[in-house]
């Protein structure tokens, strides 16, 4: 009993009290039944004895089978009372009554014992099951609090404690999701800090060196001018890193609110390539467009222009002099596809799965000016528009970037 809970002990005490009360009530019922049986039997014996007195010539069998009159009952009562046999005679002095009392007592107490034995056994089994379920739940909760956030309470049944277990599991799932979100947030901040410090270390070191050189060569205007230009280039590099990282951070954190409207694809892409026409002309590279003029995309034009511009810029940077970049778009029943294809140097198979990682620099690439953030930013913007970006490439033959967005077309069905 010491290991039982207070409520369990209280319930068992109540059951015991009910059992004792039932036993007392059963004793009273037994006394009443015995008294009633004795009264009935005495009345029968009065009639039989009186009949024999009033009809001395009749046979004995008729005394038990014939109907009795009031005079028979009265005559029998007087004779038997004189002999000390009446309704108030001690039942123990009447063998038939004593036998009836004993037999009835055994039957009633046996029934009472059986019923309460079944009740106690059922309650005991129920309590044991509940205690086992609670002990198991306590173990799971302890493990969860110890850091194993994947722990859940088995609660396939419904009602009672199991409803509480379901709620605890829901709470555990919410807490686990919050913990995972906080973990991802910490990892994201750590990665961002690491990326920023890594990318700023080189240009800051260069700026420090250039400053020291200009301080030493204070009288040499040509040297100061040359290193001023180098310093300006490194400052612009720092600006590119910081601004691009801030954009990616805002997209990853979900703080950017996309102002989406229907944008004409042809106008959007023409706006993108205007930024690269001068550079392409200087390097004798050709940019070609191919697509329908009536295709539109539900997007934020400013951010989408940034994403597509980074993909086009990447294609131009990896296309040799005299090369070609083709930008095409099409609308299918399910997708809007934008394809940026070039005939440049291509991407090595070792790099094909890494080019969307931040600051990734291929050991096969000859590009020393990129910082490895353009394509990751493009990917973040596309995914913020619920789109996908993929790439296929062959070394020496060029690369093909495909940006896809799901589109919902209105479909009419015949009635």
Spans of all domains in the chain: 6-145, 176-253, 261-406
Compute the distance between CA of residue 81 and CA of residue 275 in angstroms, rounded to an integer. 133
Of the pLDDT bands very low, low, confident and very high (cuts 50, 70, 90), residue 412 is very low
pLDDT exceeds 80 at position 364: no
Compute the distance between CA of residue 214 and CA of residue 350 in angstroms, rounded to an integer. 42
Summarize the confidence of residues 127-134 as an average pLDDT.
78
Compute the distance between CA of residue 324 and CA of residue 280 in angstroms, rounded to an integer. 9
**What confidence score (pLDDT) does residue 370 get?**
55
**What confidence score (pLDDT) does residue 414 get?**
41
Q: 158: helix, coil or strand? A: coil
Beta-strand pair 286-291/324-331: parallel
Compute the distance between CA of residue 406 and CA of residue 12 in angstroms, rounded to an integer. 65
**How far lies 99's CA from each of 31, 146, 162, in Å?**
13, 69, 53
Summarize the confidence of residues 8-35 as an average pLDDT.
82
Compute the distance between CA of residue 105 and CA of residue 31 in angstroms, rounded to an integer. 9
Of the pLDDT bands very low, low, confident and very high (cuts 50, 70, 90), residue 410 is very low
**What confidence score (pLDDT) does residue 6 get?**
73
Q: Which of 353, 351, 274, 269 is CA-nearest to residue 318?
A: 351
Percent above pLDDT 70 for the chain: 86
Compute the distance between CA of residue 403 and CA of residue 335 in angstroms, rounded to an integer. 10
pLDDT exceeds 60 at position 181: yes
Location of structure tokens 């390539």:
273
Q: Which of 327, 288, 279, 309 is CA-nearest to residue 377?
A: 309
**What confidence score (pLDDT) does residue 387 get?**
93
- What's the chain's Rg over C-alpha atoms? 50
**What confidence score (pLDDT) does residue 77 get?**
79
Summarize the confidence of residues 323-331 as an average pLDDT.
93
Compute the distance between CA of residue 299 and CA of residue 305 in angstroms, rounded to an integer. 10
Summarize the confidence of residues 120-147 as an average pLDDT.
80
Domain 261-406, architecture per CATH: 2-Layer Sandwich (3.30)
pTM of the model: 0.51
**What confidence score (pLDDT) does residue 330 get?**
93
**What confidence score (pLDDT) does residue 366 get?**
53
Of the pLDDT bands very low, low, confident and very high (cuts 50, 70, 90), residue 409 is very low
At 56, list the tokens. Answer: 């001395």
More confident residue, 369 or 279: 279
CA 263 to chain centre: 38
pLDDT in tens, 245-288: 777 777 776 777 888 899 999 999 999 999 888 888 888 999 99
pLDDT exceeds 70 at position 3: no
Most confident segment among 4-13, 35-44, 94-103, 270-279 = 270-279
Which of 106-120, 193-207, 258-272 has the least mean pLDDT? 193-207
More confident residue, 140 or 310: 310
Same fold: 176-253 with 261-406: no
Helices 161-216 and 221-253, interaxial angle, to 10°?
170
All residues at 6 or more sequence positions from 329 whose CB lies less than 8 Å from its CB, including other chains = 265, 266, 269, 290, 291, 292, 295, 336, 337, 338, 339
**What confidence score (pLDDT) does residue 86 get?**
72
Which of 26-35, 109-118, 183-192, 346-355 has the least mean pLDDT? 183-192
CA torsion sign for 299, 300, 305, 307 is negative
Summarize the confidence of residues 177-184 as an average pLDDT.
77
**What confidence score (pLDDT) does residue 219 get?**
67
**What confidence score (pLDDT) does residue 196 get?**
66
Domain 176-253, architecture per CATH: Orthogonal Bundle (1.10)
At 47, list the tokens. Answer: 């009639």
- Residue 304 · residue 263 · CB < 8 Å: yes
Q: Which of 329, 302, 340, 327 is CA-nearest to residue 407?
A: 329
- Residue 339 · residue 402 · CB < 8 Å: yes
Of the pLDDT bands very low, low, confident and very high (cuts 50, 70, 90), residue 111 is confident
pLDDT exceeds 50 at position 1: no
pLDDT exceeds 70 at position 76: yes
Starting at the earlier edge strand, list the strands of the sheet with 335-342.
286-291, 324-331, 335-342, 398-406, 387-394
Most confident segment among 34-48, 122-136, 165-179, 299-313 = 299-313
Compute the distance between CA of residue 86 and CA of residue 46 in angstroms, rounded to an integer. 9
- Residue 123 · residue 12 · CB < 8 Å: yes
């Amino acid at each position: 009993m010491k290991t039982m809970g207070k409520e369990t002990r209280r319930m068992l005490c109540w059951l015991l009290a009910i059992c004792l009360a039932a036993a007392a009530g059963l004793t009273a019922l037994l006394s009443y039944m015995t008294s009633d049986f004795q009264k009935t039997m005495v009345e029968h014996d009065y009639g039989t004895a009186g009949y024999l007195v009033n009809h001395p010539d009749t046979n004995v069998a008729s005394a038990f089978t014939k109907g009795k009159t009031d005079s028979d009952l009265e005559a029998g009562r007087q004779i038997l009372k004189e002999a000390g046999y009446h309704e108030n005679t001690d039942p123990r002095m009447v063998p038939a009554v004593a036998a009836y009392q004993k037999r009835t007592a055994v039957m009633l107490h046996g029934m009472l014992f059986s019923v309460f034995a079944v009740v106690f056994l059922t309650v005991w089994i129920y309590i044991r099951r509940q205690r086992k379920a609670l002990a198991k739940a306590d173990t799971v909760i302890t493990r969860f609090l110890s850091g194993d956030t994947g722990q859940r309470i088995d609660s396939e049944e419904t009602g009672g404690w199991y409803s509480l277990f379901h709620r605890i599991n829901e709470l555990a799932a919410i807490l686990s999701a919050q913990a995972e979100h906080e973990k991802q947030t910490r990892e994201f901040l750590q990665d961002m800090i690491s990326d920023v410090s890594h990318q700023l270390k080189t240009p800051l070191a260069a700026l420090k060196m250039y400053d020291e050189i200009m301080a030493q060569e204070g009288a040499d205007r040509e040297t100061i001018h040359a290193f001023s230009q180098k310093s300006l280039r490194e400052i612009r590099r720092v600006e590119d890193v910081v601004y691009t990282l801030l954009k990616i951070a805002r997209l990853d954190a979900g703080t950017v609110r996309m102002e989406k409207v229907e944008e004409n694809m042809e106008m959007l892409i023409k706006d993108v390539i205007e930024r690269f026409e001068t550079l392409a002309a200087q390097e004798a590279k050709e940019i070609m467009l191919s697509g329908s003029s009536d295709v539109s995309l539900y997007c934020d034009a400013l951010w989408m222009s940034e994403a597509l511009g980074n993909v086009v810029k990447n294609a131009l940077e990896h296309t040799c002099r005299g090369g070609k970049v083709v930008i095409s778009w099409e609308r299918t029943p399910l997708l809007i596809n934008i394809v940026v294809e070039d005939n440049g140097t291509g991407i090595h198979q070792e790099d094909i799965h890494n080019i969307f990682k931040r600051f990734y620099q291929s050991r096969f690439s000859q590009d020393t000016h990129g910082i490895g953030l353009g394509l990751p930013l493009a990917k973040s913007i596309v995914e913020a528009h619920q789109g996908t970006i993929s790439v296929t490439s062959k070394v020496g033959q060029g690369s093909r970037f495909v940006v896809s967005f799901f589109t919902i077309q209105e479909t009419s069905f015949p009635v």
